[in-house]
A and B are shown apart, each in its own frame.
Chain A
Amino acid sequence: MPKRVKILFSLILVALICATDVTAQYNGYKPIADLDAFKKKFAVESAKVMSITSDFTQEKTLMALTEKITSSGKFWFKRNNRVRIEYIKPFAYLMIMSGDKMLVRDNDKENKINVKSNKLFQQVNRIMIDCVQGTILDSKDFTSKVFEDDKVYLLEMTPASKSLREFFQTILLTVDKSDYSVKSIEMNEPAGDKAIISFKNKRLNEQVADAVFAL
């Protein structure tokens, strides 16, 4: 698997961990009043999340072609650094990340990847950890702005590096004000296409077996 593709998968992992549900052009949102206070609270509350179990739907929109494809699946996270993303409909696809190792299963093909194998991958891994730990707003990989309405925070993340800008114009995360967990993520591509991943039936800090993340 090409390194860039591996990085893409990892970026998606990051996105899924941080994920949200975003409205276009930030209608109804206002810039957050006290950014420092939000950063501290976000970090503190995120640190309390030991596990996440959730369903998700993903809607990819090809703007110029007026085509949409919706897929769905299940998501698991367990501290530290263990993630399982399983697409179920309309195709089967599995990604597991456990520490420095990653497994991708596409039909009968299985790829095991060492995350440490290159610097960019390590960078992506760091972004993921920043997201989980609630310190993504301090990341040098993105410049960030934070907005809010009465229910969610909206984090607008603009990639700082050229390699990330090739794939994403912005990544928008919405964070639930009630528990500071990510509700959805919107990945906006430079060409105008977008993918929105929304989390549903989210359960925090339930028991999740280690076997879920077996590689």
Chain B
Amino acid sequence: MNKSLMRYLLFSVSLIFCCSCASDYRYMKAIETNTACSSKLSPKLFTTSWYHASVDVVGRHISGLLLIKNMPDSSYRVVFTNEAGVTFFDFGFAGKETFKVYNIISQLNKKPVVQTLRKDFELILGLPFRKGPYQAYALNDEIFFGVRQKKETAYFITNKDCASLRRLELGSARKRKVVVQLNGQQYPTPDKIELVHNTFKMQINLTRFEKDDSAE
């Protein structure tokens, strides 16, 4: 193998390595926080809703019904059942730090599974954004409002003119780990929610439906 080819290969490998290590948030610039915008668009409240839910994890697919219930004390209950009505899990969220498993089938009752679901639903419910302070950043044509978590940062992302909420993200200092896309009607009653993990193959899709009490 001649020297120029070796150099080319080394350059290519280095380039690929550098690209794969490049921070997703590298070009984000801290800016002054527009509190009017952050208070207008932060996803702090979720009204009681029923969703048709599908969860895809490393090639496996589960679907069912998901209830997000806003309780009188401002806590939330998130209950996932299969279509025929058998409960998979029932979680309680009372703020960022208080989490309770009311019910879960043994197959899902593994610490990594519960912790992953907990963090996913905390983000969907907007719990990290209940209290500030928000640090604002500009990146491309978007504004990122970040709230520091233990090892990560939760962001809600708006367009530059603060017209609408675009998505939510959970990321480490360098890596975008979880992205929540919202379609249709937004908070406090989002129509469609798509949560995607970037660090492993997992996706949650929620599509809101109105209860049909005339079905009887």
Residues of chain A touching chain B, judged by Cβ–Cβ distance below 8 Å, are 1-2, 4-5, 8-9, 11-12, 15-16, 57-60, 62, 64-65, 67, 69-72, 87, 89-91, 93, 106-107, 109, 111, 166-167, 187, 189, 191, 193, 195, 197
- Do residues A4 and B105 form an inter-chain contact, with CB atoms below 8 A? yes
- Do residues B216 and A59 form an inter-chain contact, with CB atoms below 8 A? yes
- Do residues B82 and A9 form an inter-chain contact, with CB atoms below 8 A? yes
- Do residues A65 and B77 form an inter-chain contact, with CB atoms below 8 A? yes
Shortest distance between the CB of B78 and any CB in chain A (Å): 11
28 CB < 8 A contacts A-B = A1-B60, A1-B62, A2-B62, A2-B107, A9-B84, A12-B86, A15-B84, A58-B85, A62-B90, A65-B79, A67-B67, A67-B69, A69-B65, A69-B211, A71-B83, A71-B215, A72-B216, A89-B215, A90-B50, A91-B65, A91-B209, A93-B83, A106-B61, A106-B63, A107-B54, A109-B61, A166-B106, A191-B90
Q: Closest B residue to A106 by CB, please name it.
A: B63
Which of B82, B84, B87 has the most C-beta atoms of chain A within 10 angstroms of its own C-beta? B84
- Do residues B67 and A2 form an inter-chain contact, with CB atoms below 8 A? no
Other CB < 8 Å A-B pairs besides A59-B216, A69-B65, 16 of them? Answer: A2-B62, A4-B107, A5-B82, A5-B107, A11-B86, A12-B82, A15-B84, A58-B85, A71-B83, A89-B215, A91-B52, A106-B54, A106-B61, A107-B54, A189-B87, A195-B84
How many residues on chain B are close to A (CB under 8 Å)? 32
Residues of chain B touching chain A, judged by Cβ–Cβ distance below 8 Å, are 50, 52, 54, 60-63, 65, 67, 69, 77, 79, 81-87, 90, 102-103, 105-107, 209-213, 215-216
Docked Cα-Cα span, A69 to B105, in Å, equals: 21
Shortest distance between the CB of B64 and any CB in chain A (Å): 9
Q: Closest A residue to B52 by CB, please name it.
A: A91
A167: chain B residues within 8 A (beta carbon): 86, 105
Q: Closest B residue to A94 by CB, please name it.
A: B83
B210: chain A residues within 8 A (beta carbon): 90
Docked Cα-Cα span, A111 to B84, in Å, equals: 17
A90: chain B residues within 8 A (beta carbon): 50, 209-212, 215
Q: Closest A residue to B56 by CB, please name it.
A: A109
B54: chain A residues within 8 A (beta carbon): 106-107, 109
- Do residues B86 and A70 form an inter-chain contact, with CB atoms below 8 A? no
Which of the residues B61, B102, B213 comes within 8 Å of A64, measured between beta carbons?
B102
Which of B67, B83, B87 has the most C-beta atoms of chain A within 10 angstroms of its own C-beta? B83
A107: chain B residues within 8 A (beta carbon): 52, 54, 63
Given contacts A89-B212, A91-B65, A106-B54, contact A191 B84 (CB under 8 A): no
B65: chain A residues within 8 A (beta carbon): 60, 69, 91
- Do residues A70 and B215 form an inter-chain contact, with CB atoms below 8 A? yes
Q: Closest A residue to B71 by CB, please name it.
A: A65
Given contacts A60-B81, A65-B69, A106-B63, contact A191 B50 (CB under 8 A): no
Which of the residues A5, A59, A65, A166 comes within 8 Å of B67, measured between beta carbons?
A65
Docked Cα-Cα span, A8 to B50, in Å, equals: 21
A70: chain B residues within 8 A (beta carbon): 211-213, 215-216
